[in-house]
Amino acid sequence: MTLRAVSPSVGGGGTTVTSVNGQSGDVVLDAADVGAVASVSGTMVDNTDPLNPVILSDPTKVSTSSTANVLYGTASGGVQTTVTYSTSPTQSTVVYRTATGQIQAATPTTDAAVTTKLYVDTQITNSIRAQLVHIEDAVDATDVVTKFNALLADLIAKNYMAAA
């Protein structure tokens, strides 16, 4: 809004207004100048306390959802969106810990995938079994020790166990 300094009406007494809120001439005030609620690009802002304005509504935000297990977030390009979360290994959801603090995962399909304890235990067991087959094929005790040491070195190299 623009205010112009004018002479007071007849009978009003006083002098001509020369400034408004520290400004003179044609004075442009916005909502923050008078502590009012402003509408900026459709966003309602309460400037009652100029140091702590409060956003009352923003039409660019997603609407609330009655769907269970939903988080609100910002996707690429700043687009507001909702994302589901789950304690189960469900695709396209945010990981949420169980009541005991565990995170569940599906069986890995790539080298970079998170894995389960069962998967790791199975891989170690299968590796040991494969090595034991070679040990059983050994002809003498010296060969058994050599193959067993090779098994230990292989397990350590694959980080299945720590070196003693």
Residues 44-100 have pLDDT tens digits of 555 566 666 665 555 566 777 788 888 888 888 778 888 888 888 888 888 888 888
* Mean pLDDT within 103-129: 87
> Residue 111's CB: how many other CB atoms inside 10 A?
5
pLDDT at 91: 84
CA geometry: angle 83, 85, 61, nearest 5 deg: 25
pLDDT at 151: 85
Amino acid at the residue 133: V
Report pTM: 0.38
Residues 21-46 have pLDDT tens digits of 676 777 666 666 665 555 545 555 55
Q: Specify the pairing of strand 43-46 against strand 70-74.
A: unpaired
pLDDT at 79: 80
Confidence of residue 3 (pLDDT cuts 50, 70, 90): very low
**Interatomic CA distance for residues 115 and 34, integer angstroms:** 59
Cα 121 to the chain's mean position, in Å? 32
**Interatomic CA distance for residues 51 and 12, integer angstroms:** 36
* Mean pLDDT within 5-28: 60
- Asked if residues 37 and 56 have their Cβ atoms less than 8 Å apart, the reply is yes
